[in-house]
Amino acid sequence: MAISQHLLQILDRLADGRFHSGTELAESAAISRSAVCKQLQNLDKLDLGYSAISGKGYKLNQPLQLLDENTIRQALNENTRALLQRLEIHPCLASTNTYLQHAGSAHATACFAEYQTAGRGRRGRQWVSPFGRNIYLSLRYHYQSGPAVIAGLSLAVGVAVIRALNSLNISDAGLKWPNDIYWQHKKLGGILIEVGGEAEGPSHAVVGLGLNGFLPQHLSQTIDQPCTDLYSIVGDKAFTLRNRLAAALLNQLTPVLHDFDATALPSFIEEWRQYDCLYGKTVTLYQGKQQHQGILDGIDEHGQLLLCTADGNRQTFASGEISFRPGHEDSA
Ligand code: BTN
């Protein structure tokens, strides 16, 4: 659905989670009271629960912090400010990754959306992208080298996201190979990297991150794997840390994307291993129609997955999807 400027103005007023009268909302958006009522009908479609009580007005059931470019910019460090050429915030896009694929040649562009109508995950999956609660961020970077050199970027991006969470005292998040963000064996976020360009370079990468701030239950039930959100970790704070989180992610991701080359990989691999949340777990690795069961033994120096199978072999995998179900561990 389209998100009008009027609706954004009303949401800005309602963001504090307190009651606001219809008259006040009408004034803030410079529209009639009946137009306010019409706009408020959109809140259900946006999964923003609200209450209406006669004599008191309207209130959102949970506070909301819309992304604000000035607030985010103010929280960027000098290095990130110098490196980032463009920062865009959109109320609604089909997908921030798709948008940045057609974003021209600016060297370093970051784009957030409040809402994605066609958010994309890896392996052709949909990425559930309700309005105003989560982070949908894509960054586009250009490289002189070809796509092969930036393959290891996938691990480095996961490390940068964990660093950003740690910088906000959201600790204990881990990584599931190659770069899913996990917390207590549930998926908190995911990364989709799309690379284009010439085999010998130049090339570009669009790095997309989805991080769940608050997923209403009826939406999390539609996701085919256990997932979690920041609300489950930090409670109500999840509703008011979006701009700080957005800036922390840019502060960590921008230098990593800027400096990344083959020589940077070993230190990221070292750090990635510290966040490996499935080390030693019994899992199934899916590769197309093939399944491999075994015990995870971390990653090698190229970032490939190591799996010890029942026959005592240690196999190396460059791609695949790990399935781990706590309490339902298959025996290798
Ligand atoms: C995954 O499947 O784990 C990857 C999910 C990536 C989702 C993000 S949200 C921002 C960006 N835009 C998209 O359409 N996808 C990525």
Contact 239, 132 (CB under 8 A): no
| Per-residue CA distances from 182 to 15, 60, 121, 171 (Å) | 29, 29, 15, 11
Tokens found for residue 132:
């105003």
Q: Are residues 197 and 310 in the same domain?
A: no
**Parent domain of 253:** 69-275
Contact 21, 10 (CB under 8 A): no
- Say what the pLDDT of residue 325 is: 79
CB-CB neighbours of 61 under 10 Å: 11
CB-CB neighbours of 270 under 10 Å: 11
Q: Which atom of ligand 1 is the closest one to the Cα of 97? A: 12
Q: Cα of 262 to ligand 1 centre, how many Å?
A: 25
Find out whether the beta carbon of 125 lies less than 6 Å from any atom of ligand 1: yes
Segments of the chain assigned E as strands: 50-53, 57-60, 86-90, 108-113, 135-143, 174-176, 180-183, 186-197, 203-211, 282-287, 290-299, 305-308, 314-317, 321-323
CA dist., res. 68 & res. 242, Å (int) = 9
Tokens found for residue 116:
């994605």
- Say what the pLDDT of residue 33 is: 94
Contact 266, 100 (CB under 8 A): no
Q: How many separate domains does the chain show?
A: 3
Q: Are residues 87 and 216 in the same domain?
A: yes
Q: Is residue 267 part of a domain?
A: yes
CB-CB neighbours of 113 under 10 Å: 25
Greatest Cα pair distance in the chain = 72
Find out whether the beta carbon of 120 lies less than 6 Å from any atom of ligand 1: yes
Nearest CA to ligand 1 atom 7: 210
CA dist., res. 96 & res. 108, Å (int) = 14
Tokens found for residue 147:
């796509």
Q: Is residue 331 part of a domain?
A: no
Q: Cα of 59 to ligand 1 centre, how many Å?
A: 31
Element at 167 (helix H, strand E): helix 153-167
Q: Are residues 220 and 245 in the same domain?
A: yes
- Say what the pLDDT of residue 50 is: 95
Q: Which amino acid is at 48?
A: L
Nearest CA to ligand 1 atom 2: 121
- Which of the residues are catalytic? 122, 187, 325
Nearest CA to ligand 1 atom 11: 208
Nearest CA to ligand 1 atom 16: 208
- Say what the pLDDT of residue 261 is: 82
Q: Cα of 71 to ligand 1 centre, how many Å?
A: 24
Q: Cα of 303 to ligand 1 centre, how many Å?
A: 21
Find out whether the beta carbon of 97 lies less than 6 Å from any atom of ligand 1: yes
**What's this model's pTM, rounded to 2 decimal places?**
0.95
Find out whether the beta carbon of 180 lies less than 6 Å from any atom of ligand 1: yes
In sequence order, what are the beta bridge partners of 210? 136, 190
CATH number at residue 154: 3.30.930.10
Q: Cα of 98 to ligand 1 centre, how many Å?
A: 10
- Say what the pLDDT of residue 332 is: 38
Name the nearest CA neighbour of 190 among 128, 115, 108.
128
Q: Are residues 147 and 208 in the same domain?
A: yes
Find out whether the beta carbon of 138 lies less than 6 Å from any atom of ligand 1: yes
Q: Cα of 96 to ligand 1 centre, how many Å?
A: 8
Segments of 26-173 assigned E as strands: 50-53, 57-60, 86-90, 108-113, 135-143
Q: Are residues 177 and 96 in the same domain?
A: yes
Indicate the top mutation candidate among 67, 97, 188, 207 to test ligand 1's pocket, ranked by most ligand atoms within 8 A of CB: 97
Q: Are residues 50 and 75 in the same domain?
A: no
Q: Which atom of ligand 1 is the closest one to the Cα of 122? A: 2
Which residues, other chains included, contact 11 with Cβ-Cβ below 8 Å and sequence gap of 6+?
A: 48, 64, 66, 132
- Say what the pLDDT of residue 138 is: 98
Question: What does the pLDDT profile of the chain (332 residues) look like in tens digits?
Answer: 779 999 999 999 999 999 999 999 999 999 999 999 999 999 989 999 999 999 999 999 999 999 999 999 999 999 999 999 999 999 999 999 999 998 776 679 999 999 999 999 998 999 999 999 999 999 999 888 887 766 789 999 999 999 999 999 999 999 999 999 999 999 999 999 999 888 888 888 999 999 999 999 999 999 989 999 999 999 999 999 999 999 999 999 999 999 888 788 999 999 999 999 999 999 999 998 999 999 999 999 999 999 999 888 999 999 999 998 776 554 43
In sequence order, what are the beta bridge partners of 186? 183
Q: Are residues 311 and 171 in the same domain?
A: no
Q: Are residues 287 and 143 in the same domain?
A: no
Q: Are residues 254 and 143 in the same domain?
A: yes
Element at 22 (helix H, strand E): helix 22-29
Q: Is residue 328 part of a domain?
A: no
